[in-house]
Amino acid sequence: MKVQLSKSQLNKLLNFLLEKINHDEFIIIKREKNNRFMNEYRLNKERVKLDILLKISSENFISEEFDNDTIKYGTEKVAIFIVKCNLVDVYGENKDLSVYVKIKEKINSLVMISVHEEER
């Protein structure tokens, strides 16, 4: 279920996320999609931060939704962004990509990140 955000709510969310990202207070969830994406573009946490996450702005915001994993992760909502970026794959080829980023706050205030190429 999608949640509507006002402009001030979105700005508050972005400020919180960028503060956590700038201070490296985030983890990337170990999932097959994320691992495959990171391997294909030779990304590590620092490269994800610099090449993708720090590009997040209000223009990239897609939706805030209730989280299906509330019991598992202890949070009620996730924020979804699509970030346009240029990455180099394992073959040295530059690619313009739309990257899906899902962010949620854990109880201990770390930001959880899912990051992979947008599925069409």
Ranges of each domain in the chain: 2-117
**Domain spanning 2-117: CATH 3.30.2310:** yes
Q: What are phi and psi for residue 3, nearest 5 degrees? A: -115, 135
- Collapsing DSSP to helix, strand or coil, 118 comes out as coil
pLDDT per residue as tens digits for the range 20-48: 999 998 989 888 999 999 999 999 999 99
Which residue shows structure tokens 């989280």? 67
* Whole-number percent of the chain with pLDDT over 70: 84
pTM of the model: 0.85
